[in-house]
Structure 1
Amino acid sequence: MKTTIREVSKFVDQEVKIGAWLANKRSSGKIAFLQLRDGTGFIQGVVVKSDVAEEVFTLAKTITQESSMYVTAVVQKDERSPLGYELLVKDIELISDSTDYPITPKEHGTEFLMDNRHLWLRSRKQHAVMKIRNEIIRATYEFFNKEGFVKIDPPILTGSAPEGTTELFHTKYFEEDAYLSQSGQLYMEAAAMALGKVFSFGPTFRAEKSKTRKHLIEFWMIEPEMAFYTQDDSLKVQEEYVSFLVQSVLENCKIELKTLDRDTSTLEKIQAPFPRISYDDAIKLLHEKGFDDIEWGDDFGAPHETAIADAYDKPVFILNYPTGIKPFYMQPHPDRDDVVLCADLIAPEGYGEIIGGSERIHDSELMKKRMEEHNLPLSAYEWYLDLTKYGSVPHSGFGLGLERTVAWISGVDHIRETIPFPRLLNRLYP
């Protein structure tokens, strides 16, 4: 019976055939232990000299790392295995041998591993991170489909900057200037006016010259927009969504979390509702913690976000930032003209902001005024202004950064390990 490592539990005490690669091996006299992987998982294959043909045992002793093969074996329960099973090998058919595989079981430097990212993905920990990433993507679609959202795909090539910044990748669109999108939000607002509750999931680009462990040049965003939703309504969706993601990973990625030595006790606490703190109170909290450099009106850096998050054991919303440090489209606070109705969701354990969101301006004159204050060319945003002219309603939305969320849930130190082929300030290879 041909199967995969993931499916071996269905064939206990039965003979199966699995296509696999050799991740590692060791031998002890008359027994060879093969660490096998097939993309669905990892399993140990035990080759006993007395149980196989002589050429099979010789092959088991000499086969090299990352060689590919078909393994015929009997599935056996093994409580010591993370998978709970192992293979008693009966036959090995070599498909392709691998010579001088560059990533050996010894320690390698980060730059070397990044240069060989196309091969590093095969390792246990990188495999585990990618499986967790996949589960978060799967759970995202499940959550929003269940909640009645419609998936909409905004354009990647745009004629203007959604947030009016200059950190854009410029290109030529025939005779016009164009930019790689840094957010699909404005287009999603248009979609929300047509379809009510929508979400996008796609790549975004920031030409930000940052080298921190929390930044990528190309990354993926989930951006929901909701008509007739206040900021408070949106916060409830956000905390339910993040809770759903965490619980889905806990349920469906047990082996991967164990492979990464993730402390799951911290993740098990992630259940809605989440604590909330105003920007004003966050400033006071930071002063109490000795951050005398921060003043009202300043944006928070990584050390500030970490200090705020450390006061809680769940992600925390920081509410109502000063108007001057937020984009033009955010709805003013009804009782104050110096702050807007927005929130950043800060993950625990030093992982920083994973969501930014707000209630959006729906008054045409106010939107036009804000655009002028931000020196935005009204001609480029005429279509966006139309949304406030023709049946505008209160609406809210947010954006979740996929890679930062993967980093937090999987517990990896650097965001570059959370995307298959990271694009960094000085890295466009492989």
Structure 2
Amino acid sequence: MKTTIANVHKHVNETVTIGVWLHNKRSSGKIAFLQLRDGSGFIQGVVAKAAVSEEAFEQSKNLTQETSLYVTGKVVEDTRSPLGYELQVSDLEVIQEAVDYPITPKEHGTEFLMDHRHLWLRSTKQHAIMKVRNEIIRSTYEFFNKEGFVKVDPPILTGASAEGTTELFHTKYFDEDAYLSQSGQLYMEAAAMALGRVFSFGPTFRAEKSKTRRHLIEFWMIEPEMAFMDHEESLQMQEEYVAYVVQSVLENCKVELETLERDTAQLEKIKAPFPRITYTEAIQFLKDQGFDDIDWGDDFGAPHETAIAEAHDKPVFITHFPVEIKAFYMKPDPDNSDVALCADLIAPEGYGEIIGGSERIDDYELMAERYKEHELDGPAYEWYLQLRQYGSVPHSGFGLGLERTVAWITGIEHIRETIPFPRLLNRLYP
């Protein structure tokens, strides 16, 4: 019976065949221990000389790293294994012998590993990160479907910036200028006016020449937009969503978190509600902590966000930023027009901002005024203004950066390991 490593628990004391690659091996006299992987997981195959043909035993001792093969054996419980099972091998069939596999069990430098990213993904740590990433995506769809959202796909090629910045990748769209999307948000607002609650999940591109451990050139965003929802209701949705995702990873990725040596006690605290401080309170807090390099009206840098996060054991919302440093579409606070009804969600443990969101301007006259202030009067933005002209309603939305969220939940240091093939300032290969 052919199966996968992930499904061996269904076949205890049965003989199965699994297509695998040899991850590692060791032998001791009359027994060989094969560390096997098939993409769904890792399992140890035990080859006893007395249980297989002489040819099969010799073959098992001479297998090379990443050789592909079919392994047949009996599934037995093993409490010492992270999986809880091992395979007592009775036969094996080599599919293709790998020769001189470049990534050996010894230590390799980061640049070498990045040059061999297509192979590095096979390692236990990288496999675990990708499985956690997948669980975050799966639980995202589950959460928003449960909450009555409709998945909508905004375009990747756009005629203008979503936030009025110049950090865009330019291309020609036949005889017009076009840009790779830095956010699907404007289009998602249009979708919310048609479908009520919507979310998108797709790639975004920022031509920001940054080399920090928190930045990628190409990354994936989850962007919900919600009609008839104000700022406070949006914050509640955000914290419920983040808590749901974290708890799903804790429940469904136990083996992966153990492989990554993640301190799950930190993640178990992630339950709504989350603490909140205003931007003004955050500035005062930082000054009290000895940060003399920041004043009201400045944006936060990584050290500032880390200091704020370290004062809390959950993600923390920083709300009511100055209008002048936020995007043109954010609604001013009716009680203080100098600040916007917006919030950044800062992850614990120094992982920085993972969500940015706001209530959007829904008044036609105010949005038209913002267009003039930001010189957005061109035809590329005309359709967006019309959303405030035909049945405008209060509405809010936010964007969660998938890779920063993966980095935080897995506890890894650098964001480049959170995406299968990272695009960095000086890296377009492989």
Aligned counterpart, 1:168: 168
Equivalent AA in structure 1 for residue 225 of structure 2: E
- Tell me whether 1:228 sits opposite 2:228 in the alignment: yes
1: CA distance, partners of 2:377 / 2:181: 17
2: CA distance, partners of 1:227 / 1:11: 49
How large is the RMSD of aligned CA atoms in angstroms? Answer: 0.6
Aligned counterpart, 1:97: 97
SS in 2 for 1:234: helix
Aligned counterpart, 1:207: 207
Q: C-alpha offsets along residues 307-366 of structure 1, whole Å, 9 cap, x if unaligned?
A: 001110000000000111001000001111211000000000000000000000011111
Assess if the C-alpha contact under 8 Å between 1:30 and 1:48 holds in 2.
yes
Any residues of structure 2 matched to 1:256-275 within 5 Å, and which?
Answer: 256-275=256-275
2: CA distance, partners of 1:220 / 1:2: 35
Equivalent AA in structure 2 for residue 141 of structure 1: Y
Equivalent AA in structure 2 for residue 69 of structure 1: L
Equivalent AA in structure 2 for residue 21 of structure 1: W
Equivalent AA in structure 2 for residue 198 of structure 1: V
SS in 1 for 2:224: strand
Any residues of structure 2 matched to 1:266-415 within 5 Å, and which?
Answer: 266-415=266-415
2: CA distance, partners of 1:152 / 1:18: 38
2: CA distance, partners of 1:195 / 1:248: 27
Equivalent AA in structure 2 for residue 234 of structure 1: S
2: CA distance, partners of 1:322 / 1:306: 20
CA-CA distance at 1:12 after TM superposition: 1.0
Aligned counterpart, 1:240: 240
Aligned counterpart, 1:2: 2
2: CA distance, partners of 1:65 / 1:43: 15
- More divergent stretch after superposition (7-16 vs 113-122): 7-16
CA-CA distance at 1:184 after TM superposition: 0.4
Assess if the C-alpha contact under 8 Å between 1:371 and 1:378 holds in 2.
no
CA-CA distance at 1:253 after TM superposition: 0.3
1: CA distance, partners of 2:69 / 2:178: 48
- Tell me whether 1:59 sits opposite 2:59 in the alignment: yes
CA-CA distance at 1:20 after TM superposition: 0.2
2: CA distance, partners of 1:131 / 1:227: 33
1: CA distance, partners of 2:225 / 2:30: 63
CA-CA distance at 1:11 after TM superposition: 1.0
TM-score (norm 2): 0.99
Structure 2 residues without counterparts, runs of 5 or longer: none
Assess if the C-alpha contact under 8 Å between 1:247 and 1:268 holds in 2.
yes
SS in 1 for 2:177: strand
Q: C-alpha offsets along residues 240-265 of structure 1, whole Å, 9 cap, x if unaligned?
A: 00000000000000000000000000
Assess if the C-alpha contact under 8 Å between 1:359 and 1:394 holds in 2.
yes
Assess if the C-alpha contact under 8 Å between 1:364 and 1:389 holds in 2.
yes
CA-CA distance at 1:14 after TM superposition: 1.1
2: CA distance, partners of 1:357 / 1:351: 18
CA-CA distance at 1:374 after TM superposition: 1.4
Q: C-alpha offsets along residues 16-70 of structure 1, whole Å, 9 cap, x if unaligned?
A: 1000000000111111110000000000011111111111110110010000000
CA-CA distance at 1:368 after TM superposition: 1.1
CA-CA distance at 1:418 after TM superposition: 0.5
2: CA distance, partners of 1:376 / 1:412: 40
Equivalent AA in structure 1 for residue 134 of structure 2: N
Equivalent AA in structure 2 for residue 130 of structure 1: M
Q: C-alpha offsets along residues 136-194 of structure 1, whole Å, 9 cap, x if unaligned?
A: 00001000000000111000000000100000000000000000000000000001011
2: CA distance, partners of 1:298 / 1:67: 55
2: CA distance, partners of 1:12 / 1:193: 53
CA-CA distance at 1:379 after TM superposition: 2.4
2: CA distance, partners of 1:191 / 1:74: 53
1: CA distance, partners of 2:126 / 2:30: 32
CA-CA distance at 1:378 after TM superposition: 3.6
Assess if the C-alpha contact under 8 Å between 1:269 and 1:314 holds in 2.
yes
- Tell me whether 1:16 sits opposite 2:28 in the alignment: no
SS in 2 for 1:416: helix
Q: C-alpha offsets along residues 111-151 of structure 1, whole Å, 9 cap, x if unaligned?
A: 00000000000000000000000000000100000000011
1: CA distance, partners of 2:326 / 2:407: 25
2: CA distance, partners of 1:158 / 1:12: 54
2: CA distance, partners of 1:135 / 1:415: 17
Equivalent AA in structure 2 for residue 73 of structure 1: G
CA-CA distance at 1:297 after TM superposition: 0.5
1: CA distance, partners of 2:304 / 2:15: 57
Aligned counterpart, 2:417: 417
1: CA distance, partners of 2:378 / 2:330: 17
CA-CA distance at 1:370 after TM superposition: 1.0
CA-CA distance at 1:377 after TM superposition: 3.1
TM-score (norm 1): 0.99
2: CA distance, partners of 1:396 / 1:123: 41
2: CA distance, partners of 1:416 / 1:245: 21
Task: Calculate percent identity across the aligned residue pairs.
Answer: 76
Equivalent AA in structure 2 for residue 345 of structure 1: L
Assess if the C-alpha contact under 8 Å between 1:168 and 1:179 holds in 2.
yes
2: CA distance, partners of 1:107 / 1:422: 21
1: CA distance, partners of 2:67 / 2:297: 58
Q: C-alpha offsets along residues 214-255 of structure 1, whole Å, 9 cap, x if unaligned?
A: 000000000000001000000000000000000000000000
2: CA distance, partners of 1:364 / 1:103: 58
